[in-house]
Structure 1
Amino acid sequence: MDDLRRIDLNLLLALHALLAEKHVTRAAVRLHRSQPAVSHALAQLRIIFKDPLLQRRGTYMGLTPRALELVRPLDDALRGLSLLLHPRGFDPASATRRFRMAASDFGAHVILPKLMRRLRAEAPGIDLAITQGSRGAMVAQLLDGEVDLAVGVFPDVPADITLRTLFEEHFVSVADRTTLPPSGDLPLDAWLARPHVVVSMRPDADNDVEDALAAQGLRRRVALVLPHWRASTEVLVGTDLVLTVASRTLDRGPRSRNRSLKTFAPPLPLPVFAFQQAWLTQRDAEPAQVWLRNLVRECSQP
């Protein structure tokens, strides 16, 4: 208890913002305080915790090992205080807070337009901060308390992560229609003979299409790997490239506005996959989190 007398709630709020933003100026904006005030708070926190907390690493600031240890317990403590002060639940119409969500380009494409329209109409005080990363990185962000929710495909998660399926998805191929036969599709040998485009955060990452090909002892030539969904369709125009992606990627994207592109079924069986939302199990019953998850589920439907 003596240690608690050395620190007040405002310092804990400043610490929470600094650990989340990893930047004094951004933390000041988040807290609606001046940059000098947050710098002063950081100086006090460094004395209290006997640790720099934030350290420069090249061109950016990173958390020290001690700061990383503080992320989850601090998040839990502030959440507990919030529940103590506001035990009646969560009112989205009057709430003012920021949710942090991890999502791929695909997840943002499918969910975010509807989600933002709902937020502006029903919860105008709610802000969103979206981060992007690999599946492993998103799970790590959940475990470290850096995000409230992650949406994506998670074939394997730790026991303290809860998964719920938002929808099931299937693959389609797309190419410039002028390079396709009159039938509008390609048999397997012609499909394999064409150069392919793969959308991936990492050039060497595993994917379901390669796994399905390997199971049949087949390989395709990947002529382009890139992390950008929109560009992946734009590069098809006027080329013999083929792209195979989740069908809803193309619902409102360039393919739907570009008549030179044609969608067709891949000429080999590819698995249907579950697109999911994931969160820390210990946050199951938090009213604000339940509201966010329900809203994301509703906005993920066609």
Structure 2
Amino acid sequence: MDIKRSEMSLMISLDTLLEEKNVTRAAKRLYLSQPALSAQLARLRQIFQDPLLVPSETGKGMIATKKAIELQPKLHLALQELQKAISFSIPFDPLQSNRHFVLAMNDSLLTIVGIGIIQKIFQTFAPNIRLSFIPVPEKQELLNRMEKGEIDLSIGLHDNIPVALHSRHLLSDYFQVAARIGHPQLNSNVITLQDYCQAYHVIFSKTGILQSSIDFALQKQGLQRNVITSVFSYNQIPLILLDTDSIATLPSRFLQRYQNILKVFEVPFELPRFDLAMAWHANMQEDPAHQWLRNLLYQVNHDSAQIQ
């Protein structure tokens, strides 16, 4: 089969259709109308002389034909290689680029890591670069979306990074305790272990569970703290501390953003330091724009760590 130059865009549409197996979702990813993509699918069926996708018996989505199943991995790989060839042949200039990067991380890491990269990109190096910050999906969804190029970087605990991804260490951090200035039970600059365990604690939890790794560390010492509230956003915790007599155990780098409005103490028992890293898919390893972003992210956090 001789693929004409004008039909290359159809191959991109076919790759997306075979991934989504749903015309509506594929059209959304391709920024096309549903009728336009349906017309492209009709043309693709003519080219390959095969239905490619047929309606599911359940009425939800579509099912790939045998020919489409055999074609999909080869087509996907070929398009990936073509994208790499195009990217590598065009020099990346951050001053001129309007590249859109998507970074996955929780809001604590957005505070610790993300704000610095926003400042660097928008104020200094690359005024037209666009950034989107999203929550980290579940592992398999993360891998799928990174392979598709929908997520550029994921930032999180180094030990939690999927082995299928490339990674680079960003920084090490440790926990501290925070409370409002003028907390009636915390008059000195030191919080005792007894005060810590008896105080009301606010924690972060995506699921609402009133326990974290800190509670497990306490349990090993035969101790227990009084967790009364969990919230789904790290940045809500300082607001709660300001209006209550509760305390919270949070990353030191996070608390630096609130050091003018909160009182910070050292944790009165031993907790291990933790390492943060960025991760990316292998298909972005040699992409010049992606390399620039990774190097900048490392530089911003390395320079910040040197200042500490």
TM-score, length-normalised on structure 1? 0.76
Q: Give the match for residue 233 of structure 1.
A: 238
Instruction: Measure, in 2, the Cα distance between the counterparts of 1:205 and 1:5.
Output: 60
Q: 1:14 to 1:249 in 2, by over 3 A?
A: farther
Corresponding residue pairs, total? 288
Render the CA deviation track for 1:221-263: whole Å, top value 9, x for unaligned. Answer: 22111111221111112422111010121222xx3453xx311
Deviation of 1:219 after TM superposition, in Å, equals 2.1
Q: Give the match for residue 113 of structure 2.
A: 111
Matched, 1:159 2:175: no
Matched, 1:250 2:249: no
Q: Give the match for residue 87 of structure 1.
A: 88
Deviation of 1:7 after TM superposition, in Å, equals 9.3
Q: Give the match for residue 190 of structure 1.
A: 195
User: Aligned ranges for residues 203-222 of structure 1 at < 5 Å?
Assistant: 203-204=208-209, 207-222=212-227
Q: 1:122 to 1:267 in 2, by over 3 A?
A: same
Q: Give the match for residue 7 of structure 2.
A: 8
Conserved? CA contact 1:138–1:150, under 8 Å: no
Letter in 2 for 1:97: R
Percent of aligned pairs with the same residue?
A: 28
Instruction: Measure, in 2, the Cα distance between the counterparts of 1:185 and 1:147.
Output: 43
Q: 1:7 to 1:50 in 2, by over 3 A?
A: farther
Render the CA deviation track for 1:87-135: whole Å, top value 9, x for unaligned. Answer: 3443333334322221111221123333233333433443223220367
Larger radius of gyration: 2
Q: 1:191 to 1:24 in 2, by over 3 A?
A: same
Deviation of 1:81 after TM superposition, in Å, equals 1.1
Deviation of 1:174 after TM superposition, in Å, equals 0.7
SS of 1:235 mapped into structure 2: helix
Instruction: Measure, in 2, the Cα distance between the counterparts of 1:56 and 1:113.
Output: 45
- Name structure 2 gaps, 5 residues minimum: none
Q: Which stretch of the first structure deviates more once superposed, 223-232 or 5-14?
A: 5-14
Deviation of 1:293 after TM superposition, in Å, equals 0.7
Letter in 2 for 1:213: L
Conserved? CA contact 2:161–2:279, under 8 Å: no
Instruction: Measure, in 2, the Cα distance between the counterparts of 1:186 and 1:37.
Output: 65
Instruction: Measure, in 2, the Cα distance between the counterparts of 1:250 and 1:74.
Output: 48
Q: Give the match for residue 153 of structure 2.
A: 149
Deviation of 1:138 after TM superposition, in Å, equals 7.2
Deviation of 1:75 after TM superposition, in Å, equals 6.3
Q: 1:16 to 1:98 in 2, by over 3 A?
A: farther
SS of 2:132 mapped into structure 1: strand
Instruction: Measure, in 1, the Cα distance between the counterparts of 2:72 and 2:111.
Output: 30
Q: Which stretch of the first structure deviates more once superposed, 215-224 or 10-19?
A: 10-19
Render the CA deviation track for 1:20-49: whole Å, top value 9, x for unaligned. Answer: 9x8467546xx4x66753564467679863
Instruction: Measure, in 1, the Cα distance between the counterparts of 2:37 and 2:172.
Output: 45
SS of 1:85 mapped into structure 2: helix
SS of 1:289 mapped into structure 2: helix
Q: 1:192 to 1:248 in 2, by over 3 A?
A: same
Render the CA deviation track for 1:111-170: whole Å, top value 9, x for unaligned. Answer: 333323333343344322322036746753566444221111131444332221111111
Q: Identify the match of residue 49 of structure 1 among 28, 31, 52.
A: 52
Q: 1:183 to 1:167 in 2, by over 3 A?
A: same
Instruction: Measure, in 1, the Cα distance between the counterparts of 2:162 and 2:10.
Output: 32
